Structure 1
Amino acid sequence: MLSGCASVEASSTSTPISTDNDILAEHNLDGLDVGQLVNALDSMPLTDRPDGLTTSITAEALTLTDQHKHAVEVALPSDVIYVSIAPYQSQTHDCFHHSPTSCVGELRNVDVVVVVTNSETGETIFDENMQTFDNGFAGLWLPRDIQATITITRGGQAVTSSISTAGDDAQTCITTMQLT
């Protein structure tokens, strides 16, 4: 069964998070900047996911909530947004805001090539060979307020889709890209 909602470090996320909240310390995540925090959560093996910790990444923030309903919200940088993409072959799920601790895609730990092109300028803003995380997602830090085209290739299969990183409620979880 697949459920909702990986990773490139954001260069503008080097400021450590300062919080009195025990959630980060309890899960050995304290002292990390938001880019490191997102990467640690998204790249976590499925078997290591902590019980009782839920997460959500919106265009504005990463939110962590524990089993006691204590929550901490960490703002994303003002110039980039984290978008997690789970390409698939035969099974997918609906998702809008990525959840590193509960989302699972079909193609776990597979090599893919990801190319992102700014639709307005034609500039290639991301072009890398990646491996999806154990959760089946590849995570990208993309510039805010752009319209882009994403192409994912795996072996002889490819898929292209449009994405927008504009607005406070931009989609952070893409699960509709079927490789054919």
Structure 2
Amino acid sequence: MPSWQNGIYLVPGKQNKRVAAMTGDIYMAAGPRLLGELLSKEVPYYKYRFNHLPYEVTFGVTDFVGHFMEMAYVFYTQNDETAFFKANYGTATYLGPGAPIADRFLAVYMSRSWAAFVATGDPNNANVSSKVHWPRYSEGAQNMVWQTQGSFIEKDNFRAEQMKYIADNILV
């Protein structure tokens, strides 16, 4: 009988990667890509991928960048040591008192970009010195990739065949 921790196996099974790819594509990746393809023709649409494992987050088997982990950076939530915050949000959603300077710089960049988008409709009005131009999705279907090692732009074509199948047969 395998050991469990937080509802997951401590030792990954042989099909973990395949299952993670399918569920990730269906629940997290295909929808935003389809939305980008449809909406970007009508309204400013900016898409991103968060590619940074926060410095103090562990999930047992393998550390990974999961859904919602970027919120600590988007809202630059830091050093909230209140009992309420710890009980309701835990360490996965705030930077914490020992966050490295690179994490804090990423949080400043991301939070300013989101605020600029809300205020002006363009995240590129973030007023940060070392920034990458975040293109509209209609300018070539690209993602901003957020990470402390240097954010960059990538073509949004990862697993294109699988995403198209999901969009054509599951989402629509």
Higher strand content, 1 or 2: 1
- Please report the TM-score for the alignment, with normalisation by the length of structure 1: 0.27
- Structure 1 or 2, whichever has the larger Rg, is 2
Higher helix content, 1 or 2: 2
